[in-house]
């Protein structure tokens, strides 16, 4: 039986009529042959009101429990679990609202600048270390979650049906992002109509957690991709848009006597759907185990699981970045097959210098 003296923050502990400090019959206590005396001023020494020792289990000084219920909850009008849950949600919501987003962007940008410098020096060991620091940074995780909960798809759940629609859930997501034991869940496959076409485009919708993980690792991969990218690519790049591509074309075509006479337009059929997984795993400078989870997650359509053997999912946050890295390697291959005129900045076949197409992605 346990006793708590009202008005006294200390706990008194008894077990089967014998206190843990000393037996009532004056014999030694149950902890050993040596008599154990309570730490007190002598007023209650040897009595049932002796203070419990520091090592006593079940009761803790100032934080006692009776029957597994906190002492304070015995004298409250609400249940302890409910109040603690509400208190935790309030604390998490307050933490999310108190995040300094400008500081978060500065800290992440500082690491990204270091990644760019290491990439320019071809020091990929340093790139790997800096990417690890960034993906384990609190501010990077916060920005990744913010990107997920502020884009157009924030109200579209994945296969688990989970949405991060409260500040507490957003903060809890920030604290839960980790690469330890990470396994990506299958995508939810939907089909959307193409403009002026009868065919529909397949779209894979990841879960909120997988989207945040993709956004987190995109922050680490983007500096490398931007540093090694071709200067004449404009699609899915930060700070660039279709208008920039139009301006580049206008400048290239408006020069007298040296402007190209031919423009070749090409379209890659099913670009996202047919990118080689083996090539991505061998050439993308990021954590291979995480990348493999992104690529091999599979998708669920009409309650049936299908594996993914090639391609990157349309709808994933990191998919456009991966496609840009692949297209950048395509640019390098074109440069190996064509020669560039330094005056006109145009490409021509090495065997036949007559053709002068402009190569640009938009």
Least confident of 35-44, 50-59, 189-198, 226-235: 50-59
Contacts of 53 (CB under 8 A, 6+ apart): 20, 21, 36, 38, 39
pLDDT, greater one: 315 or 86: 315
Find the range with the poorest average confidence among 56-65, 296-305, 318-327: 56-65
Task: Using the Cα atoms of residue 6, residue 11, residue 17 and residue 23 in order, give the sign of their dihedral.
Answer: negative
Mean pLDDT comparison of 11-15, 222-226, 321-325, highest-scoring range: 222-226
pLDDT for 353: 38
pLDDT at site 28: 46
Mean pLDDT score, 8-21? 44
Q: Pick the residue with more confidence: 67 or 243?
A: 243
Which range among 165-179, 209-223, 300-314 shows the weakest confidence by mean pLDDT? Answer: 300-314
pLDDT tier at 178, thresholds 50, 70, 90: very high
Which range, 74-83, 156-165, 198-207, 350-359, is most confident?
A: 156-165
The pLDDT assigned to 83 comes to: 63
pLDDT at 349: 47
Identify the pLDDT of residue 335.
72
d(CA 184, CA 196): 34
Which range, of 23-37, 56-70, 170-184, averages the lowest pLDDT?
56-70
pLDDT band at 64 (very low <50, low <70, confident <90, very high): very low
- Per-residue pLDDT tens digits for 234-255: 888 888 888 888 888 888 888 8
The Cα 79–Cα 75 span in angstroms is 10
CA 95 → CA 171, 216, 217, 274, distances in Å? 7, 20, 23, 42
């Amino acid at each position: 039986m346990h006793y708590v003296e009202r008005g006294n923050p200390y706990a008194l502990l008894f077990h089967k009529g014998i206190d843990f400090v000393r037996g009532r019959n004056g014999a030694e206590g149950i902890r050993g042959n040596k008599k154990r005396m309570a730490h007190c001023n002598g007023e209650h020494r040897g009595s049932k009101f002796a203070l419990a020792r520091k090592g006593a289990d079940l009761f803790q000084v100032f934080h006692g429990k009776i029957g597994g219920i906190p002492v304070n909850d015995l004298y409250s009008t609400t249940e302890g679990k409910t109040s603690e849950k509400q208190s935790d949600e309030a604390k998490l919501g307050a933490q999310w609202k108190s995040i300094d987003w400008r500081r978060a962007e500065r800290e992440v940008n500082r690491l990204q600048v270091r990644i760019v410098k290491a990439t320019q020096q071809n020091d990929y060991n340093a790139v790997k270390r800096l990417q690890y620091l960034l993906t384990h940074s609190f501010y990077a995780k916060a920005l990744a979650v913010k990107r997920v909960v502020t884009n157009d798809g924030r109200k579209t759940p994945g296969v688990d049906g989970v949405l991060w629609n409260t500040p507490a859930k957003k903060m809890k997501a920030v604290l839960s992002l980790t690469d330890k034991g990470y396994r990506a869940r299958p995508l939810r496959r939907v089909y959307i109509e193409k403009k002026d076409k009868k065919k529909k485009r397949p779209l894979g919708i990841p879960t909120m957690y997988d989207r945040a993980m993709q956004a987190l690792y995109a922050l680490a991969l983007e500096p490398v991709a931007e540093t090694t990218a071709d200067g004449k690519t404009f699609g899915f790049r930060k700070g660039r848009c279709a208008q920039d591509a139009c301006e580049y074309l206008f400048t290239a075509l408006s020069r007298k006597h040296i402007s190209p006479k031919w423009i070749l337009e090409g379209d890659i059929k099913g670009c996202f759907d047919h990118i080689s997984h083996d090539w991505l795993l061998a050439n993308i400078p990021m954590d291979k185990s995480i990348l493999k989870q992104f690529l091999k997650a599979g998708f669920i359509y009409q309650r049936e699981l299908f594996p993914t053997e090639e391609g990157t999912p349309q709808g994933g946050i990191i998919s456009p970045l991966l496609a840009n890295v692949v297209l950048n390697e395509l640019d390098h291959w074109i440069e190996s097959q064509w020669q560039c005129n330094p005056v006109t900045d145009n490409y021509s076949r090495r065997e036949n210098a007559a053709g002068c197409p402009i190569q640009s992605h938009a």
